[in-house]
Structure 1
Amino acid sequence: MNPRLVITNAAAGSTDVPSIEAALAVLRDDGPVRLEETADGADLDRVLDGRRDDETVVAIGGDGSLHALVSALYVRGELGRVPIGLIPLGTGNDLARTIGLSVEPDEAARQLVDAVRTEIDLIVDDEGKVTVNAVHVGLGAHAGRQASWWKRRLGPIGYAVGAIQAGLTAPGLHLRIYVDQERLPHSHGVMMVAMGNGAYVGAGAHLSPGADPGDGWADVMVSYADSPVARLGYALGLRRGEHALREDVKTSRARELAVQGDEFWVNSDGEVSGPYRAKSWTVVPGAVAMMLPDPRHARNSAT
């Protein structure tokens, strides 16, 4: 018996009833399922208050739904003790790609049935706010603001349109950047600063192709693309995962990142906040207990 508390998030758009029902049918064949719909943080807290000790909490939705669940458990002091499952639904699903989950809800539910408990890392900022997948300053946040308009009209391709538009219009920033407390030598013309726990952003852009959310580190990327041509090249390279090959892009792996200087916006798991003049983030290794596909099964199926 594998009891599960399944949570949908109406505010995040996880209302594809046929897909949800297909996933639930798979889970019900494996054990008891309680389905709860939430509309806001208060709803989510109410549902978590009623969680039974033996239940895995399963979020049905995209990166935003998982972010909301992880954030709520973190604030409640329950993160790491409560096992979390994810059934991707919606337009983002970037972390799902990194951790090997199918973006087809019924197939993701089958993966969840055979999943093993796996600890993944978390990024926490200086205000105690969490990032599960990736956080961006500069172009990343500007693209998120642009994409929110385009996404409503074009669906997933809106992310790409927003990224390209941002690449042409976002201003370069003067920022002091500290990676594991060491200041980077260049501070002018900063186009984007990113800290990736997962490999993808914006519905599949390869921001941090080598990122592993279970290795205790985050991938840090800084772009100094400070001309319209360079910005367009960077934005297009980001979609193909080739931006790190550019001379105006610097990459590293770190556990701490701090940014100070010009006023900037922050995009954390697709949610934009700000403006700020100073912000810092720290990796908390193994903070999230996820139910993920067994890598041994992946190896066996590939042979």
Structure 2
Amino acid sequence: MSAAQPPGNGAPHLLVVIDPVARRTDGESVRIAKDVLSAGSHAKICLPDSPGEFVRALSRRGGRRPVVIGDDRALRRAVSLLHREREPAMNALSLVPVGVSATLELAHSLGVPTGTVAAARTALDGAERRLDLLVDDSDGVVLGALRIPALNGAPGAATGRSGVTAVWDSCRSLVRTLVRPAPPEPSAAASTHRLRVEADGVVLNDLDRPVASVTVTSGRGADGVAEVTIDAPDGAPVTTRAKAVTVSGADFRYRADIQVGGPVRTRTWTVRAGAWGLILPAR
């Protein structure tokens, strides 16, 4: 499962965990990243075959600095583990992003280089940047953005359905239009939520005012506050900054970075200032 390839003296000691999805998606980029990291560090290479093995490999890192080769899901999995360990100063984490573009949006928004070689070199000689973390009351984490979209959003966006399911839904819809008249266009109310949104205890929106979406974005630094935006169909967006956000109402789903959660009736997200560290290009 692992092999050590020590170079010269003074090189960093790394634990390189290669996500199995990355190996299947782009084996060549994985090979390049592994070669660059092994040439510039005392690297222990781990090749887990499942999410469970991924977590176990990372938890046994000892004094080695962790480097993840994978996509946004792998990054979230690593940060979630470090958060659960409750280390006073969570190990700074490096990421070499490998995967399809749709699964790398979070990594790139955080400032991780897009190129494999550049990202691997950053893991070797970059600088740590402390970042805020959104943590919910079930101990789930959000690294970038939390979104509660409209009820009739894009297929699969709020429900977590697969693309295949969405295609079958489209086919069934087409058949129905061939055998009976088309139904009237849905009203605006069908694309809204009835949600109560509180920011640091202050009610921003109550159940009597429909909202199209709610977005909570943790800062790109470590200032300990999040940006909250409520989009309503009947007026300008409501925006504020807060340390804690509570959303409640009828069952709703939410998208935390790339992962869909819910349905829940209430959930609170709290900002943990500077709770994790990411190795980024030195300025």
TM range (shorter): 0.7 to 0.9
Give the TM-score taking structure 1 as reference length.
Answer: 0.73
C-alpha distance in structure 2 between counterparts of 1:79 and 1:37, whole Å: 28
RMSD: 2.9
Give the 5 Å matches for 1:189-208.
189-197=210-218
C-alpha distance in structure 1 between counterparts of 2:211 and 2:224, whole Å: 26
Instruction: Using the TM superposition, give the Cα deviation of residue 151 of structure 1 relative to its aligned residue in structure 2, in angstroms.
Output: 9.6
Q: Which residue of the partner structure matches residue 7 of structure 1?
A: 17
Q: Which residue of the partner structure matches residue 271 of structure 2?
A: 283
The one of 32, 37, 45 equivalent to 2:55 is: 45
The one of 57, 70, 73 equivalent to 1:61 is: 70
C-alpha distance in structure 2 between counterparts of 1:102 and 1:140, whole Å: 35
Q: Would you identify which runs of 4 or more consecutive aligned residues in structure 1 move more than 4 Å?
A: 11-14, 140-143, 145-148, 150-153
Q: Which residue of the partner structure matches residue 103 of structure 1?
A: 114
Give the 5 Å matches for 1:1-303.
1-11=11-21, 15-53=25-63, 55-78=64-87, 80-90=89-99, 91=101, 92-139=103-150, 143=154, 144-145=157-158, 149-150=162-163, 171-185=191-205, 187=207, 188-197=209-218, 211-225=219-233, 247-295=235-283
SS in 2 for 1:78: coil
SS in 2 for 1:214: coil
Structure 1's unaligned 5+ residue stretches are 154-167, 198-210, 227-246, 296-303
- Aligned length in residues: 248
The AA in structure 2 aligned to 1:278 is: T
Instruction: Using the TM superposition, give the Cα deviation of residue 284 of structure 1 relative to its aligned residue in structure 2, in angstroms.
Output: 0.1
Deviations 1:125-147 (Å, cap 9, x if unpaired)?
A: 01111111221223399553478
Instruction: Using the TM superposition, give the Cα deviation of residue 180 of structure 1 relative to its aligned residue in structure 2, in angstroms.
Output: 1.6
Give the fraction of aligned pairs with identical amino acids, expressed as a percent: 28
Deviations 1:262-293 (Å, cap 9, x if unpaired)?
A: 21002112111211111110000011022121
Compared CA separation, residues 219 and 12, structure 1 to 2 (3 A): farther
C-alpha distance in structure 2 between counterparts of 1:138 and 1:67, whole Å: 21
Structure 2's unaligned 5+ residue stretches are 1-10, 167-187
C-alpha distance in structure 2 between counterparts of 1:194 and 1:87, whole Å: 27
Give the TM-score taking structure 2 as reference length.
Answer: 0.77
The AA in structure 2 aligned to 1:222 is: I
Compared CA separation, residues 139 and 111, structure 1 to 2 (3 A): farther
